[in-house]
A and B are shown apart, each in its own frame.
Chain A
Amino acid sequence: MGHPELAEKFIANNERMHWHDKALWFVREKRDLAAHGLNEWESLREVAKQIKTHTIDKLDFYLEEFEKNAKEKGLHVHWAKDAKEHNEIVLKLLLNRGSKKLVKSKSMLTEECHLNPYLEENGIEVIDTDLGERIVQLRNEAPSHIVLPAIHLKKEEVGKTFEKFLKTEKDNCDPTYLTRAARVHLREKFLNADASLTGVNFGIAETGGVVVCTNEGNADLGSSLPKLHIASMGIEKIIPRLKDLSIFTRLLARSATGQPITSYTSHFHAPVEGGELHIIIVDNGRSDIIANDDFKQSLHCIRCGACINTCPVYRRSGGHSYGYTIPGPIGSTLGASKDLRTNKTLPFACTLCASCSNVCPSKINIHNQLYKHRQSVVSAGLLGAKKHTILKVATWVMKHPALLDFGGKMARKIVPKLPRSILYSKVNVWGKKRELPKFPKNSFKELYKQREEKK
Chain B
Amino acid sequence: MSSRETILNNIKKNVPSSTIDLPETNIPHTIYENKDEKFTTSLASVGGNAVWLKDESIDEFVAKNYKDFEVIVSTCKDYTCSTKEANKPNTPHPLENVDLAVITAEFAVAENGAVWVKNPDNRHRALYFLATQLLIIIPKENIVDTMHEAYERIEFDKSGYGTFISGPSKTADIEQSLVIGAHGPTDACVLFV
Contact = CB atoms under 8 A, between A and B. Distances in A.
A23 B184 contact: no
Contacts of A318: none
Given A54-B20, A260-B42, A273-B123, A64 B25 contact: no
B112 interface: yes
Contact of A260 (B7, B46, B185): B46
A224 B165 contact: no
A175 B177 contact: yes
A189 to B, nearest CB: 10
Contact of B175 (A23, A57, A225, A260): A23
B163 A264 contact: yes
B175 A154 contact: yes
Contacts of A191: 93, 96
Interface in B116-166: 123-126, 128-130, 146-148, 150-152, 154-156, 158-166
Nearest to A129: B183
Interface stretch (A44-52, A340-348, A372-380, A386-394): A44-52
B159 A269 contact: yes
Contacts of B25: 47, 51, 241, 243-244, 246-247
A425 interface: no
A131 B178 CA distance: 12
B173 A148 contact: yes
A281 B10 CA distance: 14
Given A57-B16, A217-B184, A273-B123, A287 B96 contact: no
Interface in A180-233: 180, 183, 186-187, 190-191, 204, 207, 209, 215-218, 220-221, 224-225
B30 interface: yes
Interface stretch (A73-81, A350-358, A439-447): A73-81
Contacts of A250: 111, 146-147
Contact of A215 (B24, B152, B170): B170
A178 interface: yes
Interface in A320-379: none
Interface string A28-52: 0000000000111001100100110
A101 to B, nearest CB: 14
Most buried by B among A60, A129, A151: A60
Interface in A284-319: 287-288, 290-291
Contacts of B177: 155, 175-176
Contacts of B15: 57
Interface string A256-281: 01011111111111101100000001
Contact of B165 (A150, A264, A283): A264
A58 B12 CA distance: 8
A264 B130 CA distance: 14
A224 B124 contact: yes
B184 to A, nearest CB: 3
Residue of A57, A261, A281 with most partner-chain B CB within 10 A: A261
Nearest to A186: B183
Interface string B23-39: 11111111000000000
Nearest to A253: B112
A262 B166 contact: yes
A425 to B, nearest CB: 40
A179 B96 contact: no
B7 A54 contact: no
Contacts of B150: 246
Contacts of A126: none
B190 interface: no
Nearest to A74: B159
A21 to B, nearest CB: 13
Given A51-B22, A262-B166, A265-B164, A179 B11 contact: no
In this complex, which of A186, A221, A241, A290 has the most chain B Cβ atoms within 10 angstroms of its Cβ?
A221
Given A220-B163, A267-B156, A80 B26 contact: no
A153 B164 CA distance: 31
Nearest to A81: B3
Cβ-closest 7 pairs across A and B? A217-B184, A260-B112, A216-B182, A132-B173, A224-B126, A270-B159, A217-B169
7 contacts: A53-B20, A220-B129, A235-B11, A260-B46, A260-B111, A267-B162, A269-B156
Given A215-B169, A246-B148, 5 more contacts: A155-B175, A225-B92, A264-B163, A272-B124, A291-B14
